[in-house]
Chains A and B, each alone.
Chain A
Amino acid sequence: MSFKIATIADAETAAGFALAGVQDVHIHERKEGTLAKLDELLVSKDVGIVFITYRIAEELGFEFRRRIKTKKLLPVVLRIPDKTGWLPKVDELHEIIRRTVGAEIIVKGGS
């Protein structure tokens, strides 16, 4: 089945994605506006993937994490670095690996 791609980012990153062919871009300004947009995307039947920058996800904090935990299978939400390359201290995937396997495993290429 076909789906659209959406992006939630700062203006520059959004421009880059738009040039690549992502039609639905939301430029983040205020928390409430962005959360509303995210909610809209999470219930949309057309959207298959949502890209959101690590920075913005961090700013949305608990509200973001809660939505991710309770969302349906689609859309898939992926956090991406913006041009500053900012990444949170704790890598979610590393955490999952640690919890699951009970040991530190180094993922090549990650942080």
Chain B
Amino acid sequence: MRQRVTLAQKGHDLLREKMDALVIEFFEIVRKIGIVRAKTMQQLSSAYRSLSTCFAVQGTIETYQAAREAKKEVGVDISTRHIMGILVPTIEAKLVERHALARGYGMYATSSALDEASRDFERALGDLIKLAELEEGAREIALELEKTKRRVNALEYVILPNLKSMVKFISMRLDEMERENFSRLKRIKAMFEGRE
């Protein structure tokens, strides 16, 4: 019985350390998200503006045509890293050149407006990929943190007090039983002595 208290206590202490460690991880990734979000929003705004300009200068139809014919493909390399029992993605942008011509809008002459819009969106894409990695990581950590917190609380407020009061109860009962035994022996002894 006492063993169960020790186990629960040890489990509680260790899980609490895990919880503390997860909080450190969480704050660090949230800090990074703050920085990357700001940068990304700015870059995206820039990209949308360039695109508007492109629509105005190059023409709507031509812009959409160029978009359809863009030959470049961007992919991502996704791997994983561990943070205490959870897997978190690591994501890197990767350029996949499909044709010899980079970008390759097809038969349309490239205009600087189109180039600029493309470049701005490429930059924004790079930022967004980083943001995706971070936000997904934050989500996973938060989930694990919540789970761990629940366990720690359950141990601290329910299980350990229960176990401890059970130990106390059993201990009291044992003492009581011993006292009862002792007084029974005394009565038996008295009976014998009374006889003599």
Nearest residue (CB) in B for A49 is B132
Q: A23-B73, A76-B133, A100-B26 are in contact. Are A15 and B44 (CB under 8 A)?
A: no
Contacts of B125 in A (CB 8 A): 5, 17, 20-22
Contacts of A14 in B (CB 8 A): 67
Q: Is the interface of A mostly helix, strand, loop or mixed?
A: mixed
Contacts of A20 in B (CB 8 A): 74, 118, 121-122, 124-125
Verify B34–A48 contact, CB threshold 8 A: no
B101 proximal to A (CB < 8 A): no
Verify A15–B64 contact, CB threshold 8 A: yes
Q: Say how far A80's CB is from chain B's closest CB, in angstroms.
A: 6
Verify A97–B30 contact, CB threshold 8 A: yes
B100 proximal to A (CB < 8 A): no
Give the contacting residue for A93; candidates B33, B72, B129; CB below 8 A.
Answer: B33
Q: A20-B118, A107-B34 are in contact. Are A3 and B78 (CB under 8 A)?
A: yes
The interface on chain A, measured as residues whose beta carbon lies within 8 A of the other chain's beta carbons, has a size of 41
Verify A2–B75 contact, CB threshold 8 A: yes
Contacts of A100 in B (CB 8 A): 26, 142, 145-146
Q: Is the interface of B mostly helix, strand, loop or mixed?
A: helix
Contacts of A16 in B (CB 8 A): 47-48, 51, 67, 117, 121, 124
Nearest residue (CB) in B for A109 is B38
Nearest residue (CB) in A for B95 is A21
B91 proximal to A (CB < 8 A): yes
Verify B74–A22 contact, CB threshold 8 A: yes
Q: Say how far A19's CB is from chain B's closest CB, in angstroms.
A: 4
Give the contacting residue for B132; candidates A78, A85, A99; CB below 8 A.
Answer: A78
B173 proximal to A (CB < 8 A): no
Q: Say how far A103's CB is from chain B's closest CB, in angstroms.
A: 12
- Report Cα–Cα, A21/B95, bound state, in Å: 8
Verify A74–B89 contact, CB threshold 8 A: yes
Which residues of chain A from 55 to 109 have any CB-CB distance to chain B below 8 Å in the complex? 73-74, 76, 78, 80-83, 85, 93, 96-97, 99-101, 105, 107-109
Verify A21–B133 contact, CB threshold 8 A: no
- Report Cα–Cα, A111/B12, bound state, in Å: 37
B186 proximal to A (CB < 8 A): no
A18 proximal to B (CB < 8 A): yes
B176 proximal to A (CB < 8 A): no
Where the two chains meet, the residues of A that have a C-beta atom closer than 8 Å to any C-beta of B are: 1-5, 11-23, 48-49, 51, 73-74, 76, 78, 80-83, 85, 93, 96-97, 99-101, 105, 107-110
Where the two chains meet, the residues of B that have a C-beta atom closer than 8 Å to any C-beta of A are: 23, 26, 30, 33-39, 41, 44-45, 47-48, 51-52, 55, 63-64, 66-68, 70, 72-79, 87, 89, 91, 94-96, 114, 117-118, 121-122, 124-125, 128-129, 131-133, 135-136, 138-139, 142, 145-146
The 4 A-B pairs with the shortest beta carbon distances in the complex, nearest first, are: A109-B38, A21-B74, A20-B121, A18-B67
